[in-house]
Amino acid sequence: MNDREKLAILRMNPDLAGLGENALHELVVHFDEVVVRAGTCIAVEGRPCHEFIVVAEGRLSRNREHDLVAGESLGWKAMQARGIHETTTVAATDARLLVMSHAQFAAVSAARPRKPSFLLWALPSSRRPLPRRQHLERA
């Protein structure tokens, strides 16, 4: 699979939707391509999550959720929290996956734009003027 095909798959992924084109180009090198056979266990419920996986081809079956197809992923939230897998995932068909480890995932997290934080200032609860300070004079 070449970089152009990988980019097309990453553009479909909702977890990476906030990234611009340049950031996606930088991230392609952090993904390893893995081919798994049908029936291969990808993740076990309750075990630590060690990889972020994006499905490139094929279908992954999850025991309590919808199946994952091309462009969908698993492990984003668990990797951020260094948590566990929420459900067992098995390859329903032969599948091609883009896989990222913890070190590679740190690069993605650093490149992903953060939501802006706003600082809210307390406003007076009434419309009466604030008392004048005697030691301050107008310029």
In CATH, which of 2.60.120.10, 3.90.180.10, 2.40.110.10, 3.30.365.10 is domain 3-111?
2.60.120.10
Higher pLDDT among residues 22 and 136, named by residue? 22
* Contact assessment for residue 6 and residue 56, using Cβ atoms and an 8 Å cutoff: yes
**The pLDDT value given to residue 138:** 55
**The pLDDT value given to residue 41:** 92
Single out the residue of 16, 32, 23, 49 nearest to residue 98, CA to CA. 32
**The pLDDT value given to residue 1:** 79
Distance of alpha carbon 44 from alpha carbon 51, whole angstroms = 12
pTM, entire model: 0.72
Q: List the beta bridge partners of residue 100.
A: 52
Residue with tokens 């939707």: 17
Long-range contacts at 60-64 (CB < 8 A, ≥ 24 apart): 60/89, 60/90, 60/91, 60/92, 60/95, 61/89, 61/90, 61/91, 61/92, 62/87, 62/88, 62/89, 63/87, 63/88
Distance of alpha carbon 110 from alpha carbon 36, whole angstroms = 29
pLDDT tens digits for range 61-78: 987 678 889 989 888 888
**The pLDDT value given to residue 36:** 93
**The pLDDT value given to residue 13:** 87
**The pLDDT value given to residue 59:** 93
* Contact assessment for residue 61 and residue 107, using Cβ atoms and an 8 Å cutoff: no
Delimit the domains of the chain by residue range: 3-111
**To the nearest 10°, the Cα dihedral for 82, 110, 19, 88?**
-10
pLDDT tens digits for range 78-123: 888 888 888 899 999 999 999 988 777 776 666 555 554 444 444 5
Q: What is the H or E stretch that residue 61 is in?
A: strand 60-62
